[in-house]
Structure 1
């Protein structure tokens, strides 16, 4: 008896990016030399999530900065009656980073505050970013 297995689809091992119930578009990769930056809409114009992973160098920080400021520019031209938008920067998968990352997020946070946009940085403390972020805020407040 000869058993044959049908050929697998070429993408059978490709990761599934969205569930069948999730109608939002899949995360969009942003070109960056060493870090991985993905942008995902929160849906219904509520905002976006930028997920950053890997080693974040100066060029990667510049790419993320352009992405954040483009998103903030879109928020600036939104109608005043629109719902408040939120931008989440997920750094939980960042392995290493330079001071440029802390600086760019501080600038983006100031701009977001002036536009009444919620900018939230998600980081679990593994990379040491949280300490640098808190030190930057302490210096900015003069303490």
Structure 2
């Protein structure tokens, strides 16, 4: 679902019982709310895995990090694998 001038957030279910959320552009505060809803909606379906692909993200508002932290906690509690594809480390620390 398009979320504004610079951000794109799309979610799709794959054939193996997982959810892939692809994010691109500059994620602002409003986009963080949309991303949060997408993540929590995906987690409610109890998939085997959720993949958050932020490869095409160009920048983030600091509140996006909190959105990810809350989703990671919820996924861990539900025993759902949440993988973040973040080669530019917009949302994850260098690991």
Structure 2 residue 34 is the aligned partner of structure 1 residue 63: yes
Q: TM-score, normalised by structure 2?
A: 0.88
Once the two structures are superposed, the pairs formed by residues 1-143 of structure 1 within 5 Å of their partners are: 30-34=1-5, 35-44=7-16, 46-75=17-46, 85-125=48-88, 128-129=89-90, 133-134=92-93
**Which structure has the bigger radius of gyration?**
1
Gaps of 5+ in 2: none
Q: Which runs of 4+ in 1 moved over 2 A?
A: none
Looking at both structures, which has the greater relative contact order when contacts are Cα pairs under 8 Å and sequence separation is at least 6?
Answer: 2
In 1, the alpha carbon distance for the partners of 2:43 and 2:21 equals 13
CA RMSD after TM alignment: 1.7
Higher strand proportion: 2
Gaps of 5+ in 1: 1-29, 76-83, 136-143
**Equivalenced residues, count:** 93
Q: TM-score, normalised by structure 1?
A: 0.60
Deviation per CA, 1:104-125: give whole Å up to 9, x if none: 0010000000001000100112
Secondary structure class of the residue paired with 2:59: strand
